[in-house]
Each structure stands twice: as C-alpha cells, then as structure tokens.
Amino acid sequence: MSIGQRLYQWWDSDFFYAFRTSPVAIVAFSVVMLLFGGALLAPLLSVMDPFDMAALNLMNGFTPPMQPNAFTGDTFLLGTDDQGRDLWSAILHGLRVSLFVGFSAVGLAMAIGISLGLLAGYLGGWVDALIMRVADVQVTFPSILIAMLIFGIARGLLPPEARNDFAIWVLILSIGLSEWVQFARTVRGTTMVEKEKEYVQAAQLLGLSRLQIMRRHILPNVMGPVLVIATITLALAIIAEATLSFLGVGAPPTQPSLGTLISIGQDFLFSGEWWILLFPALTLLALALSVNLLGDWLRDTLNPRLQ
Amino acid sequence: MLSIILSRLGQATFVLLLVALVSFSMFRFVGDPASNMLGQEASQAEREALKDRIGLNDPLPVQYARFVGNALQGDFGLSYRTREPVADMIASRLPATLELALVSALMALTMGVLLGVYTAINRNGWLAQMIMSTSLVGVSLPTFLIGVLLIWVFAVELSWLPSFGRSGTVDIGGWTTGLLTLDGWKSLVLPAVTLGLYQMTLIMRLVRAEMMEVLRQDFIKFARARGLSERRVQFGHALKNTLVPVITVAGLQLGSIVAFAIITESVFQWPGVGLMFINAVYYVDIPVMSAYLLLVGLVFVVINLIVDLLYLAIDPRIKSKQVGAGS
Amino acid sequence: MSALEVRDLTVEFPTRRGVLRALDGVSFDVEQGEILGLVGESGAGKSMTGAALMGLLEPPGRIVGGSIHLHGESVVGRAQEFRGRHFGMVFQDPLTSLNPLKTIGAQLIETIQWHFNLGAQQAELRARNALAEVGLDPDRLNAYPHEFSGGMRQRVVVALALSAEPAVLIADEPTTALDVSIQAQILDLLKALCRERNTAVILITHDMGVVAQTTDRVGVMYAGRLIEIGQTDQIINRPAHPYTQGLMASTPTLAGDVSTDLYQIAGSMPRLDAIPAGCAFNPRCTHVMPKCRSERPPMTGGRACWLEATHD
C-alpha cells in the first residue's frame, strides 16, 4: 500500500471522524496551530525587534501590561521587562526559537531512530544486538541528563568564542541524540514483523536491494506509530529545550527561548513584576499541554496498543 | 539464589565499567587535559612534562585502567575551574542532594501509590476523575516551572517558606543534615515537592493502570466468589499483585529523581551535586562532569540492583523459575 | 420446597446500541445433593446464569426481574452475604483462578477465617483437611500455585470453593481447560464431594459427554432463555425441543457410526441485539409454525415449544 493510499484512508475514514468528534483534540490542535502561526509570523506580529538593543528604550522598563508607562506614555499589551523590551514581541520570538529547536530535534531523533531501527530490525544479528544494547543503556538514564552531558561535551569541543553562535545547533543535537531510542525500538519491532511477510519476501525474490525494500515496503508501514511517537517526543523536546535554556545551558542570551524568558522573569518575582514571568510561563504551558494532549489523542486513535 | 545475585552483580559491574569508559573518554578527549590543568599561558614544554607525569602519553587501555583505579579510590582529579579536588566537592555537596532526593522519593512513592490505588478503586468518582485530569496538566508542566510557581505562591505571595538555599543544617561527623531543625525542613519543603511532583504523577498513573488491570483478572473474581469483601479483595489480593510490576518502573523513576535534582537544585539554589554539575556544564569543567556521570551511573546501577533483588524477594515465581533453570 | 429456586430471572446490559437482554425469564430448581447441568452454545447465557446467582455480573449488567431463593430466603440484592458461605463457585481456568503471589495455604486459611470464627491453628487444621479431601498432600499448604500442575490446581480451586461448605456449588466449565485424562478425575471428585456433603451443584458446560457422565438433570439454554429441562437420560435420549434434538444429533457418540457426517443445525444463534420475536429458535427450526414467529412458547412439561407434545 502506498503512502498516498494510507493518507487517503486516514482522512477519509475513522481518523478524521474521530478528530471531528473529539473536543479535546480540536481545542489542542487549535492552540497548537495558533502558537505555530504566532511563531511563524513573529516578525509581522511583533511591535519591535526585541533583540535589537538599539530599538529598546530603557525608560520603558517594567511597564505593567495594558498600562501606559509613567515616563514615556507607551502602552504594551503584555508589559515590558527590565530593559523596556516588549514582552509580546519577546514571547513570539521566543516561541519561534522553542519550536524551531523542538521540531529540529524531533526531526534529528526521528532520522537517527528510524535508520537505526530499520537496520537493527532488517539485518538482525550483531548489528541488532549492538544497537539495542546501546539503546537499553541509554534509556536507563533520563534523557534530560543525556542532553545536558552532550551539551557539555559539545561545548567542550567548540572553541569558547564559537559557543554562543552554535548554541542553538548544539541544543538541537543534544536533544535529538537523547530522544532517538523510542523511535528505534518501535521501528525495529514493526520491521521484524513486516520483513517476514510475503510481499517483502516477494520483493526480495524480485531482486530489490535491501535499501529499496526498506524504503518502499517497510517504511510506510511504520509511519503510524512513528507519527504518534514524534508528537509525544515533540512535547518532551519542547520541555527539554525550555529546561536547558532556563538553566542557562541552552539558547544563548542573544536568541532567548521561552525557557530563557522564564528564567529572566524569575529574577523579578520578588520585586513584584509578575508579568515578566507569567506570560512566557503560560505560553510554554499551553504549548506543552496541547502538544501532549494531541499526542495522547493520536496514540489512542491510531494505535491503542502503543503505550 | 546466590548465583542469581552474583550474575546481577556481574551485570552491574559491566554497566559501571561502560559508564566509566564514557566518562574517561570525556575526560581524555574533550579539550586538552594538560592545557586545562596548567592554564593557557603554559609553554609547550611544560605541557609535555605534565603529560608525561600524569601519564597522558601512556597507551589508552593503561590510562583507562588508571582512571578506573583512581575512581575506585575516590580520586577524580582537580576541577579545571576551582582547582579543588573533585572528590571533596562532591563529598561536601552530596548530603544536600541525597536528603532532597530521599525526601521527595518517599513523598512521590507514598502519595503516588495512595492516589493511584484511590483512583483505581473509585474510578468513576468525581474526586478520582478530578485527580486524573489534574495529573495530565502535571505531566505537561516542566519541573522548573513547577518550582518557579511554588516559589511565587508560597515564598513571594504567602511568605510561608524560604525561596532558595538550604538552612538550619547540622554537621554530624562530616555529614551536614537539614533534617534535624525546623528551618532545615522549611527550606526543604518546596524543593522536595517540586522534585517529587512529577514522579508522583507518573507513579500514580502507573499504579492506577496496573491495579485496574489486576482487578480484571480471574483470581480476583474467584476471591470475590469466595465471599471476601470488596475491600479485602482490593487490599488483600489486588494491591500486592499491582505493586510487583510497579516496583521496577517506580524504581527507575526514583533513579531519575537524582537527575531531575539538577533542575530543582538550580531553581532553588540548593547546594547539591546537581547545581555543581550544571555549573560544570556551563563552564565546561570536564573532570567535574565526568565524576558526576560516574556518580549518577553508580546510583542507577545500585537502584537497578535493589529493584531486581526486591523483585526476587516478592515474586515466588521468579525464584523457582531461575532455580529450576539453574539446576 | 427445593433448596434453590430460580424464577423468571432476567438480566439486562444497557449499551450504546440499546438494552441487551442477556437472560430472559430463566426458571429452574435444584435440590440438595442434586447435580443440574446447564448446556448451550457459548453466549446462550449459561455463564451469565452462574454470575447472576453469585451476584458477580460484570457492570453494567444487572438483574432487572425475577427472583432467586435459597431455602426460602431471597438472594437478589444480598449476594455478598451468600457468596462463599452459601454459594461457592469454580471457574474454568485453574491457572488464573489462584493468586500467584500467595501460598495456597494462605488463600485457604483466609477464606476459612473469613467465614468461620476460628483461631489460626484450627483454621490451618481445617485447611489441611480441605487439601486432603481433594486428594492433595496436606503438607503442601505452603506451596505457591505455580508449583502445581493444572489438574492439581483445579483441585485446590475446588477445595477453596468448598472450604466454607456452601449449600450450592456453581461450576463454570470446570474441566474445559484441563487435559482430557484429568477431566474425569476432577468431575468424579466434584461429584463425590458434593454427594458426601449433600451440596447442590450447577454444572455449566458445553460438553455433552460431561453432562451424561455427571449430571442428574439438564437445562438447555438458547439466546438467554431456558428452552428445555429434564432428567439427563431423557434429554440425551429423547430430547423434545427441536433445538435440543439438533444439539444431540450434532454430538458425536462412541456408539455412532464414525463414517457418517455429523448433523449441523442450519444458521447460528442470534446475537443478543437481534433476537427474533416469538420463539428465539424459529428462524433455524425445521418444524417452524406461524405461531412460533409471533408468540413466545411458555415452559410446559419441561420444554418451551409450540410443537404438540405428542410428537415424541
């Protein structure tokens, strides 16, 4: 069955029906789309470039939301931070960084996981044993710890002056490398089942190469579970990115993500500027929660056995 | 029985040696240890001399063996940043982390099991359903955000508890404990709740799912058919069978508390090994990072070992199966 | 008055597709010391009858009509008080009926102490006796279920079910999961123990061989209804209801000619959401009459059928 046919099946039948009749799925999906849209259109929607130091007016610092600033009279929807940076614009740009890192990391994890899973499942033998043992040892440790370690090592390998420039890529690398195991395990399992089926053996007899068989015959069959894992992993990756950035070992100060904004906000809790913390925190929560809900719903709908 | 324990110990040692290999590779290949130790100003000759002296020119297996040998004696080298022995840094910070991890693990385990059992037994009750919905928000809330929100409510708005640091500690033979004074407990509450909440949610959901599964089984039906009350069936028969599989997962979950402590300690400026580690990552202080990795590896392996042995003690089926296979 | 009197027992399951009637007006009596077999295809309501008697219907199933009386006392709504002490039950699969994490002694003693006010030593003595009665070594009280074979485990299950000396024992396919060679042993054991204690037994099975070998009387169920009931000998050799006749004709016998094909009733039992009006068997019946399609036949003379009784 081709990918096109499978897609058509989804949209034509139960999948789309299940979506239309699930309020949770609709709300979660809408929130995710709204946040994606905001991130994509950040340059258009924001009132200033929050990271152009020249555009900032220090006099605008600590302006509460929806109230005119005492000195300049400027009003900001969500208020400003200590440097007079508009929070609305900062959140949109932060969302952009968070989502970019999240998606790229999931993409990386997926690429690694699917390739290794296909290899392990199709070739078996020592390749399978080696890949799966590494996976076993890695999942013993929480992925956030693995990501921190990789981040530290990558920083150590980079010259100090390049560390900030490459921080985003290092972040993607470390989260991507820490989340591949689930993909590999699932793909391996499906591959081992599929490769025994007649059509794959027929393809083998026809003289198709291993690579062709895997790409054309096995890959389409693992897409359902992979989509589910990707969604759940996206939530994990977004949380991991925010955590690392909050701890100061993630996004660089020049490209703050939601986690960075929250860590800045924490500094002003005691002095009463609550909005600097609250709005980025709510955005992150809305994002993580709706992606999680969507993942849960996808899992229940597409593959109830995957747990 | 003894042979099982020995084989488990063998596996544990193997995993530890593997972790040590990663740790060693980090130490050896990330950055140049010699120039890191001497600073940027040292001459090439000085560097070579140091390399010779500390054996960086020996064959790698020899270096690895020496690394493991030193680690076994508690020698992890000097921090690149503070020039202190890493072992001393860890020793002075370990009590803070262990007390934090222990208190939150205990909280996560007891509350998680209680809530899990409650929501499984009363799965259609309004309170149980509310707990379940809240728990979904709980798993989506990053640990650091929980910490920040708790600080906001309980430290800033209500001023009930301190927002950071560890106070009221008493030194008992080199172990500084915060568990003996009211101040110590007060400063422990928020970090412990932050650290335990996520694990509690996971354990609760796990216990609930497992217990509902067990309650569907035939031997439960047969216990009811013998006239035992619902309560007796739930607590006398279903609970133990629920907890056996839960032990494995919960054990591993509790292990990850040590890792999540990094985040909590950072939020609350809790002076433990996690805070030390995150600073090391930031400043690329490789000896501290690699020592921390070894430490966490040890904790995980020990927890795995305890879980295995506990399993062995609780489930009679495994014991006889293994003995049968071994004889 | 019979020991157990079941009258018009009706069980319903509310579902999204409407209310399903899983048992519809089932009535029968069982005497002390008597073994009543309940037979029928799977889904006919045999196990449902057992679960309803025990008060162990899976929710949302519930008894919506009829009565159950044990020695004149009404059971419906008070099943918990009767379970174990008055109604015992043996399930199909001995491998899953016992708690794997408790010794069989612990499970026996727990049940005994639950129903009788006995000290630890007396309860243990009783547990040992219970094991001896089912032909097991009393010293194996401290063994776990997995240390026994399937047949031995079913003996343990029987010991547990009878440990509180119930007046009625419901055995739901007690030998289906066992090796053929063990089946007869367990059935003989059940029969002997119940005769000895004067226990009333309801033996649920689909196996006509088991019925012939063990029961005194047999009830035949179809689509949630009891359609024929009578002495075992009569039901097997001179069945009156067309469905029972078909059932018997489709059962291989040792005396029968192996070369001839077994008889098969055309069609299959209706699903619970599509039971026809009148007699539930009418679409498959070879003797069907117009009346069968409109009016449900009452149970008279041991069978629920509009055919003239003269025909046999």
List the structure tokens of B16: 């530890």
A274 interaction partners in chain B (CB closer than 8 Å): 152
| pLDDT attached to residue C171 | 93
Cβ–Cβ < 8 Å for A250, B114 = no
Region A41-48 average pLDDT: 75
Contact criterion met (CB < 8 Å) for A247 and B145: no
pLDDT in tens, B213-224: 888 888 999 999
Nearest CB to B221: which of C56, C101, C161? C56
- The model's pLDDT over A192-231, given as tens digits with 9 standing for 90+, comes to 887 777 777 787 787 777 777 777 777 777 777 888 889 8
Helix, strand or coil for residue C62?
Answer: strand
The beta-carbon neighbor of B225 closest among C54, C99, C110 is C54
Cβ of A239 and B156 within 8 Å? no
CB B307 within 8 A of CB B251: yes
HEC string for chain A: CCHHHHHHHHHHCHHHHHHHCCHHHHHHHHHHHHHHHHHHCHHHHCCCCCCCHHHCCHHHCCCCCCCECCCCCCECCCCECCCCCEHHHHHHHHHHHHHHHHHHHHHHHHHHHHHHHHHHHHHCHHHHHHHHHHHHHHHHCCHHHHHHHHHHHHHHHCCHHHHHHHHHHHHHHHHHHHCCHHHHHHHHHHHHHHCCCHHHHHHHHCCCCHHHHHHHHHHHHHHHHHHHHHHHHHHHHHHHHHHHHHCCCCCCCCCCCHHHHHHHHHHCCCCCCCHHHHHHHHHHHHHHHHHHHHHHHHHHHHCCCCC
Coil, strand or helix: which one is C299?
coil
Q: Which of B217, B222, B244, B247 to mutate to test the interface with C (most CBs of C within 10 A)?
A: B222
The structure tokens 């995957």 sit at A306
Q: What is the pLDDT of residue C311?
A: 47
Contact C83 B237 (CB under 8 A): no
Q: Looking at residues A76-97, what average pLDDT do you find?
A: 79
Which positions in chain B touch C110 (Cβ < 8 Å)?
A: 228, 236
CA B1 to chain centre: 28
Question: Greater confidence, B160 or B254?
Answer: B160
The residue ranking higher by pLDDT, A169 or B251, is: A169
- Name the residue ranges covered by the structural domains of chain A: 106-307
Alpha-carbon gap, residue A235 to B242, rounded angstroms: 29
Whether C105 and chain B come into contact, CB under 8 Å, resolves to no
Q: What is the mean pLDDT of chain B?
A: 82
Its CATH architecture, for the domain A106-307, is Orthogonal Bundle (1.10)
B309 CB neighbour count, 10 Å cutoff: 13
Q: Give yes or no for B216 touching C (CB within 8 A).
A: no
pLDDT reported for residue B188: 86
Contact exists between A and C (3 or more beta carbon pairs < 8 Å): no
Q: Which residue of B has its CA nearest to C55?
A: B225
pLDDT along chain C (312 residues), means of 10: 90 84 92 93 90 89 91 88 90 88 91 91 92 91 90 92 92 87 89 90 91 92 92 91 88 61 78 87 88 88 78 46
Helices (H) and strands (E) in chain C, counts: 11, 10
pLDDT bucket at A139, cuts 50 / 70 / 90: confident
Helix (H) or strand (E) holding C22: strand C18-30
List, for residues B201-250, the tens digit of each pLDDT value. Answer: 888 888 888 888 888 888 999 999 998 988 899 888 888 888 887 877 77
User: A289–B137: do the CB atoms touch at under 8 Å?
Assistant: yes
Residue ranges per structural domain of chain B: 86-326
Mind telling me how many Å the CA of C212 is from chain B's nearest CA?
A: 27
Token duo for residue A153: 């090592």
Residue with tokens 């591993």: B252
How many whole angstroms separate alpha carbon C307 and alpha carbon C164? 45
Distance (Å) from the alpha carbon of A288 to chain B's nearest alpha carbon: 6
Q: What's the pLDDT score for residue A21?
A: 73
Tell me if C146 and B314 make a contact (CB, 8 A cut-off): no
Decide if B300 and A140 are in contact by the 8 Å CB cutoff.
yes
**May I ask the CATH architecture of the domain B86-326?**
Orthogonal Bundle (1.10)
Q: How many CB atoms neighbour CB A219 within 10 A?
A: 18
Closest CB to B15 among A137, A142, A157:
A137
pLDDT reported for residue C176: 85
Q: Which residues of A touch B280 (CB under 8 A)?
A: 152
Instruction: Quote the DSSP letter at residue C275.
Output: P
What is the C-alpha separation between B197 and B205, in angstroms, rounded? Answer: 12
Contact criterion met (CB below 8 Å) for B144 and B267: yes
DSSP for C157-219 reads: HHHHHHTT--SEEEEESTTTTS-HHHHHHHHHHHHHHHHHHT-EEEEE-S-HHHHHHH-SEEE
SS3 C11: strand
Grade residue B162 by pLDDT with cuts at 50, 70 and 90: confident
- B33 has which bridge partners? none
The nearest alpha carbon in chain B to A235 belongs to B140
- Chain C's closest residue to B315, CA to CA, is C101
Is residue B151 pLDDT above 90, yes or no?
no
- pTM beyond 0.80: the answer is no
Distance from CA of B46 to the nearest CA of A (A): 22
Find the helix or strand (DSSP H, E) in which B280 lies. Answer: helix B273-283
CB under 8 Å to B162, separation ≥6 — which residues?
A: B155, B186, B187, B190
Asked if B151's CB is within 8 angstroms of A242's CB, the reply is: no
Report whether C112 contacts C85 (CB < 8 A): no
Confidence of residue B325 (pLDDT cuts 50, 70, 90): very low
Q: Cβ of B39 under 8 Å from any chain C Cβ? A: no
| B70 touching chain C per CB within 8 A | no
- Contact across the interface for A284 and B148, Cβ inside 8 Å: no
Asked whether residue B327 carries a pLDDT value surpassing 50, the answer given is: no
Q: Please indicate if any CB of chain C lies within 8 Å of the CB of B316.
A: yes
pLDDT value at residue C106: 92
Identify all chain B residues contacting A139, using CB atoms and an 8 Å cutoff: none
Above 50 in pLDDT, residue A306? no
Residue C164 near chain B (CB below 8 Å): yes
Q: Which chains touch B (3 or more CB pairs under 8 A)?
A: A, C
- The chains in contact with chain C, meaning 3 or more Cβ pairs closer than 8 Å, are B
Residue B36 above 90 pLDDT?
no
Q: Which pLDDT value is given to residue B40?
A: 67
Q: How far is C80 from chain B (nearest CA, A)?
A: 6
State the smallest CA–CA distance between residue A249 and chain B in angstroms: 6
Q: Give the number of beta-carbon pairs within 8 Å between B and C.
A: 76
Using an 8 Å CB-CB cutoff, list chain B residues near A246. Answer: 142, 144, 263, 266
d(CA B216, CA C103): 21
pLDDT of residue C231: 94
DSSP state of C311: G
| CB-based contact, A289 to chain B, within 8 Å | yes
List of chain A residues whose C-beta atoms are within 8 Å of the C-beta of residue B282: 248-249
- In the prediction, which pLDDT does A305 show? 47
Largest CA distance in chain A: 80
